[in-house]
Amino acid sequence: MSPSIDPVQTSPQLPAATSVVIIGAGIIGLTAALTLAERGIPVVVVEKGRIAGEQSSRNLGWVRKTSRHADDIPLALAADRLWAQMPERVGADVGYRQAGIMFIARNEAQMNMHANWLKSVEHLNLDTRLLSSREIAAKVPGGQGNWVGGIFTQSDARAEPTQASSAIAKAAMAKGVVIVENCAVRTLVTSAGKVSGVLTERGEIRCDQVLLAGGLWSRRFLGNHGVDLPTLPLTCSVLRTEPMEGPTEIAVGAPDFSFRKHKDGGFIITQRGKLDAFLTLDHLLLGRRYLPQLKAQRDFLKISLGKYFLDDLSLARRWKAGAVSPFEKVRVQDPAANQTLNDDALRNLRAAWPVFEQARIAQAWAGTIDVTPDSNPVIGRVAAIPGLTLATGFSGHGFGTSPAAGHLAADLVSGDTPIIDPAPYRFERLA
Ligand SMILES: Cc1cc2nc3c(=O)[nH]c(=O)nc-3n(C[C@H](O)[C@H](O)[C@H](O)COP(=O)(O)OP(=O)(O)OC[C@H]3O[C@@H](n4cnc5c(N)ncnc54)[C@H](O)[C@@H]3O)c2cc1C
Does residue 12 lie within any of the structural domains? no
Does residue 5 lie within any of the structural domains? no
Domain that holds residue 219: 17-430
Judged against a pLDDT cut of 80, whether residue 368 lies above it is answered with yes
Ligand 1 centre distance from Cα of residue 56 (Å) = 4
Q: How many residues does the chain have?
A: 431
Per the structure, the count of domains in the chain is 1
Which of 27, 59, 365, 379 to probe ligand 1 with, by most ligand atoms within 8 A of CB?
59
pLDDT score, position 297: 77
Which of 21, 54, 378, 425 to probe ligand 1 with, by most ligand atoms within 8 A of CB?
54
Does residue 2 lie within any of the structural domains? no
pLDDT score, position 84: 98
Which of 14, 56, 57, 205 to probe ligand 1 with, by most ligand atoms within 8 A of CB?
56
Percent of the chain with pLDDT over 70: 100
Ligand 1 centre distance from Cα of residue 398 (Å) = 8
Does residue 9 lie within any of the structural domains? no
What average pLDDT does the structure give for the chain? 96
Ligand 1 centre distance from Cα of residue 145 (Å) = 33
- Report which ligand 1 atom has the smallest distance to the Cα of 50: 49
pLDDT in tens, 394-406: 999 999 999 999 9
pLDDT score, position 298: 75
The residue among 429 and 303 whose pLDDT is bigger is: 429
Does residue 125 lie within any of the structural domains? yes
Q: How confident is the model at residue 300 (pLDDT cuts 50, 70, 90)?
A: confident
Q: Take atom 45 of ligand 1 and give the residue whose Cα is closest.
A: 24
Q: Take atom 41 of ligand 1 and give the residue whose Cα is closest.
A: 185
Does residue 11 lie within any of the structural domains? no
Ligand 1 centre distance from Cα of residue 118 (Å) = 28
Judged against a pLDDT cut of 80, whether residue 355 lies above it is answered with yes
Which of 94, 179, 333, 399 to probe ligand 1 with, by most ligand atoms within 8 A of CB?
399
Q: How confident is the model at residue 6 (pLDDT cuts 50, 70, 90)?
A: confident
Judged against a pLDDT cut of 90, whether residue 342 lies above it is answered with yes
Ligand 1 centre distance from Cα of residue 54 (Å) = 5
The CATH number of residue 320's host domain is: 3.50.50.60
pLDDT score, position 166: 97
pLDDT in tens, 55-102: 999 999 999 999 999 999 999 999 999 999 999 999 999 999 999 999
Q: Take atom 50 of ligand 1 and give the residue whose Cα is closest.
A: 59
CA 355 to chain centre: 30
Ligand 1 centre distance from Cα of residue 396 (Å) = 8
Residues with CB under 6 A from ligand 1: 23-29, 46-49, 52-56, 58-62, 184-185, 213-217, 221, 236, 238, 327, 367, 369, 392, 394, 396-400
Stretch 234-253: mean pLDDT, rounded? Answer: 97
Does residue 3 lie within any of the structural domains? no
In whole angstroms, give the CA distance from residue 187 to residue 128.
45
Ligand 1 centre distance from Cα of residue 323 (Å) = 25
pLDDT in tens, 161-218: 999 999 999 999 999 999 999 999 999 999 999 999 999 999 999 999 999 999 999 9
HEC profile of the chain: CCCCCCCCCCCCCCCCECCEEEECCCHHHHHHHHHHHHCCCCEEEECCCCCCCCHHHHCCCEECCCCCCHHHHHHHHHHHHHHHHHHHHHCCCCCCECCCEEEEECCHHHHHHHHHHHHHCHHHCCCEEEECHHHHHHHCCCCCCCCCEEEEECCCEECCHHHHHHHHHHHHHHCCCEEECCCCEEEEEEECCEEEEEEECCEEEECCEEEECCHHHHHHHHHCCCCCCCCEEEEEEEEEECCCCCCCCCEEEECCEEEEECCCCCEEEECCCCEEEECCHHHHHHHHHHHHHHHHCHHHEEEECCHHHHHHHCCCCCCCCCCCCHHHHCCCCCCCCCHHHHHHHHHHHHHHCHHHHHCCEEEEEEEEEEECCCCCCEEEECCCCCCEEEEECCCCCHHHHHHHHHHHHHHHHHCCCCCCCCHHHCHHHHC
